[in-house]
Amino acid sequence: MDQTAETIVEAAAEEGWLSTLDIFVISLLAGFCIYWFFLRSKTPEPPPIKKLIVSQTATKTSDPSFVNRMKSSGRNVVVFYGSQTGTAEEFAGRLAKDATRYGMKGLAADPEECDMEELGKLVDIENSLAIFCMATYGEGDPTDNAQEFHDWLQNDGGELTGLKYAVFALGNKTYEHYNAMGIYVDKKLEDLGATRVFEIGLGDDDGNIEEDFVTWREKFWPAVCEHFGVQATGDEVSMRQYVQTLHEDVPKEKVFTGEVVRLGSFKTQKPPFDSKNPYLAPVSINKELHKGGNRSCMHIELDISGSKIRYEAGDHVAVYPINDPEIVEKLGKRMNIDLDTVFTLTNLDEEASKKHPFPCPCSYRTALSHYLDITSPPHKHILKELAEYAGDPKDKEFLLNISANTPEGKTLYSNWIMKDHRNILAILEDLPSVNPAIDHICELLPRLQARYYSISSSPKIHPNHIHITAVLVDYTTNTGRRQMGVATRWLSLKKPCGDARPTVPIYVRKSQFRLPFKSSTPVIMIGPGTGLAPFRGFIQERDYYRKEGKPVGDTMLFFGCRYKAEDFIYEDELTKYEQDGTLTKMYVAFSRDGPEKVYVQHLMKQNKKELWDLLQSGAHLYVCGDARNMARDVQETIMEVVSEHGNLDKTQAAEYVKRLQSKGRYSCDVWS
C-alpha cells in the first residue's frame, strides 16, 4: 500500500471503526487496486512494423556439423574460405551462388565454425563437391580462421577417399611463399585420397586477382559439369542473398553503432580482446616524424594499461578504421537516402553461416562508415549488378562491357576502374543514370577490414603502450579526385587534447617475426622507410638487455629514406643507440640527396664482407618493408654476398639462403 492508504487504515484502527478482519480485507483490496492501476504491465499496441528481436551478437549458425546442415537443406556443394581481408570469403560466396545455375545447391562455410573432421563424411551426399578458397597470410601462413584446419591437415587429417574437391588460392607474387596455403591444401587433400575435379587456381593480388578468379571460374564450372554429368540450367541471373527490413521502433541500445560483433562492446569493454572484441585504446601521443617536405609520417602511442593485452616486439597491431564521413555523406546524397534510417539485412539462406553481412540492425550511416569498404575499386561482379540499375542504355552497355571477361572488358576495367581508382561513389557520380537500391549496395560491397601495422616498440621498455609508425596515404587520382588511406586519414585526426584522449579499436596479432632467443646472437636488420618500425622495437629490446648487463651480439641496421633533412625518422634515437653501442653499425641510404639514387641494397653491396662474417657467426637476418621491389632486391644482394664470399655458385647460394629461411634465420615482414 502507499503512504496515504496506510495512514487511513491506521487512523481507523486507532478510533475503533474497524475490526482486524476488516483491516485485512481493506488492505488486500487496496493492494490489488495499486497493482491493477499502477504496477501491472500494459498490453502493447500493435507496432506499425514487425517487432525485431535483437540478439547481443551478430548471429551465426551454431551447428558445427556442416554435413548435417547440407543434408537438411538439400545441398551438395560446400565452399570453405580461409580469409584475412575478406576477398576469399567473397569469392566463396560467389561460387556458392554459382552452383544454382548447374542444378546444384551451394553453401559458403567458415572452417573455423565447422567440424572439419567431418570432411570425409561429405561422400555420403550424392554428387557432393568441396571447394576451398584459401588465402595465404604473412610468410606462407594460413589465415586466422583456417589455422585449425591447417593444423588438422598437418596431423594427416582423415581418410578422404571419394571426396571431390577443387582449390582456388589467393596470394601475392611479390611474396616469397606465393599462395603457399592454397597449394598446400590442394596437395594434402590429394595425398589423403581425395579426387581433384579441376586444377588449382592461383590468384595474384599484385596483379588483378579478380580477373584471375573469373578466368579460373569460367573454366572450373564446365569441368564440374563434365565430371558430374550435369548442365547449366540457364543464363546467369542476379540473385539477391539478403532481404531488407526497415525499423522505426528499435531502442537505441539495441542498434549497432560500429561494434565488430557484440552489441554494446564499445560501451562495456570486457577482456580478452581479439579480432571480434577489439580494445578501445586511448591515444596518448600522435606526432609528426617528418621534418619537412609535403609528406607525413605519424608516430602514435596507444595506451593499453589495464587491458591485459600483451605483445612482443615484432607483433602486429590491428586497427579498425572508420570511413571518411564526407564520402559517406556524398553517397547518401547521391543515392537520395536518409542515412539515419535503421535497417537489417537478413540472409535468405537459413543454413548460411552468416545471418547478416555485418552487425544488424544499424543505420545506413553506420554501415557505410564502419562496416563497408566504400573506397576500394569494386570487383567486376558488382559492376555487372549495377548495370541493372542503369536508366541510360549506354551506361548499361558500358557496365556490362567493363564487367565482361573479354579482352575489351579487361582493358576497360584496368583503365577505368583500377588505374583511375574509381570507388563506388566515383562510379555513381560518373554514371548519373545508375541508381541502385541502397540495400543492394550494402549487400554487394565487401566488409571494411582492419589494417595491420608492425608494432614499433618493445614491451620491455613500453609494457603499457603500443607504438605505431605510419605514413599518411594522400594523393590525387587520374580523375582529379583526392584519395586518402582509410586508416591513416582517420588516425591522423586522433590527436589528444589536454586530458581528452581519443580512442582507437585495436587488437594484437602474434607474429613469427621475432628476435633470436639468445640476446648474444648477432642480428642484421634491413628496413627502409616505415620498414624501420619493428626494428625500433628490436633495438629497444637489445638496449634493455645491454643495460641489464646481459651479453648482446652485434646489432646492424640498414635504413633508407629520401632526404636526410626531411624523412630520416627517429634520427635522434638511432644516433643515440649508435653512440652508446646498442647499434653496432648503422648504414643509412638517402635516395634523393645525391646525384644518383642510393638504396639499402647498394649499401649492403658495399659491406659484403661484413655481412658474410656476421652470417657465418650465426646472425639472424630480418627484412621489413616493400615486397615488390626492396625485399626482392635485398634477397638478390644476399645471394651475391653468399656466392662471392662463400665461393658458391648460384644454385648453391640459393640453397644456402633457403637453409637460413628454414632455420628461422632469414625472416621477412613485408607488404605490397
Residues labelled catalytic: 454, 624, 669, 671
The angle formed by the CA atoms of residues 207, 210 and 213, to the nearest 5 degrees, is 105
Distance CA 350, CA 249 (A): 25
Cell matching residue 592: 634523393
Distance CA 246, CA 259 (A): 20
Distance CA 57, CA 264 (A): 9
Secondary structure E strands in 304-428: 316-319, 342-347, 362-363
In one-letter notation, the amino acid at residue 583 is: L
Are 584 and 542 spatial neighbours (Cβ–Cβ below 8 Å)?
no
Distance CA 49, CA 58 (A): 22
Count CA atoms closer than 13 A to 530's CA, side-chain side.
23
* 364-376 b/e (C-beta count within 10 Å ≥ 16 → b): bbbbbbbbbbbbe
Q: DSSP of 202-249, one letter per residue?
A: EEETTS-HHHHHHHHHHHHHHHHHHHHT----SS------EEEEEESS
The angle formed by the CA atoms of residues 104, 106 and 112, to the nearest 5 degrees, is 155
Cell matching residue 57: 551478437
Cα 10 to Cα 20, 31, 185, 538: the distances in Å are 11, 15, 84, 81
- Quickly count: other Cβ atoms within 10 Å of residue 184's Cβ: 20
Distance CA 634, CA 269 (A): 44
Distance CA 299, CA 284 (A): 11
